[in-house]
Amino acid sequence: MNWKVLTAGAVVTVPLVALLAAGFDRDPKLRSNALEGRQAPIFSLSTLNGEPFSLEEANGKPVVVNFWSTWCQPCKIEHPVLLRAAETYGPMGVHFVAVLYQDDASKARAYLNRSGSHWPTLEDPGGRTAIAYGVAGVPETFFIDASGTIVRKVSGPVSQEIMVTTLEQML
Amino acid sequence: MGTLILLAALLGAQPSWAESSADVVSELASVELPEPPLEDPPDAATAAARTERLQTNLRCPVCQGLSVADSPSDAARAMGTRIEELVNQGYTEDQITYYFVDRYGAWVELEPPDEDHKALFLAPIAVVLFGGILLLLWGRRERTAGTQTGDAQFPTHTPDPVLEPWRARILEELGEVN
């Protein structure tokens, strides 16, 4: 075996393979969690009933902000988890807020009348709040602790396990 | 023609939750921005040019490789309107780019800054150059070694005590044949 040729080949190829391998653990399609660990953007929106709501109202309490729409099937899968969580953790001081993402208020009202909700659903004209939170699809859920810091962002439907674990950590 | 008109109407149609203009702002809807604008609101021509540049350079968050300007999606339309609003408020291009990068990650820029990726592109070239130089140096050393030892590159024949009688016999018989 020609060790010199083998070594020269290894010197050239090993760093190249290592460079490529370094990218294997990064999914380019993965949504950014850049806001985790940072202050949640404060927003003031109106509910589907036209009442004002500001994130500041929840000052000092943990908040779960859920971006959703009626055309999103995973949101419908997630809905029962949110309902149970709001029933359990709402009385313990956790605020639940839903922000409608690129959807009509009338469709949302109809859906919520059928499926129920224990939280205010907010309209987001122009999607400014969704953009401020870096929402790139629904559902996306932000867990904000009592100090107003985003402790976790979940892209896709939140499972009961993640919901319970995260809320227990926040309380 | 009818199809074209219908298509234009569909593309121009705005859903009820969207806003057709940056000027239309719901009184109740607001979201705090991390910093104030660094400049005064620009004139219309400057604002249009900045908006177009930003919409071309920023990626539609729900598309595959499409800019905000190129994507017909609702998300891109909302992002485009937001860019226009921020430009008109006097936010600089850097401020707006940072605002989106801050939320969506560096991925949101269609052409991320060179400095972030220089190493990625230069490393393979550097490695190939390094390997080539190593090969060149080894080759030169081999040649020098060959020159110094004269005919050392040719294999020397050492008689094998076991095979030598057979070899002698083959040569003898070949001689008889010739």
Token couple for A72: 């999103």
pLDDT at B146 over 70: no
For residue A45, the chain B residue with the least C-alpha distance is: B29
Per-residue pLDDT of B52-100, as tens digits, reads 999 999 999 888 889 999 999 999 999 999 999 999 999 999 999 999 9
Q: A25 lies in a domain? A: no
Domain around A56: 35-170
The rounded distance, in Å, linking the Cα atoms of A168 and A90 is 13
Mean pLDDT of A67-89: 96
Mean pLDDT of A96-125: 95
Q: A60 lies in a domain? A: yes
Q: A61 lies in a domain? A: yes
Contact A127 B18 (CB under 8 A): yes
Query: CB of A128 within 8 Å of any CB in chain B?
Result: yes
ipTM of this model? 0.81
pLDDT at B9: 47
Q: Mean pLDDT across chain A, nearest whole number?
A: 90
Whose CA is closest to A92, among A62, A64, A54, A116?
Answer: A62
Mean pLDDT of A58-84: 94
Q: Residue B100: its chain A contacts at CB < 8 A?
A: 131
pLDDT at B149 over 60: no
The rounded distance, in Å, linking the Cα atoms of B80 and B158 is 84
Token couple for B154: 């040719």
Q: CA angle, corner A117, sides to A114 and A121, nearest 5?
A: 105
Q: How many structural domains compose chain A?
A: 1
Token couple for A141: 């859920």
Residues in Cβ contact with A66 at an 8 Å cutoff, skipping those fewer than 6 apart: A78, A82, A96, A97, A98, A99, A139, A140, A141, A142, A158
Q: A84 lies in a domain? A: yes
Q: A7 lies in a domain? A: no
The rounded distance, in Å, linking the Cα atoms of B59 and B64 is 9
Mean pLDDT of A73-81: 95
For residue B109, with 0-12 CB atoms within 10 Å meaning exposed, 13-18 middle and 19 or more buried, which class applies? middle
3-state secondary structure of A155: strand
CATH number at residue A128: 3.40.30.10
3-state secondary structure of A161: helix
pLDDT at B156 over 70: no
Query: CB of B105 within 8 Å of any CB in chain A?
Result: yes
The minimum CA-CA distance between A153 and chain B, rounded to whole Å, is 12
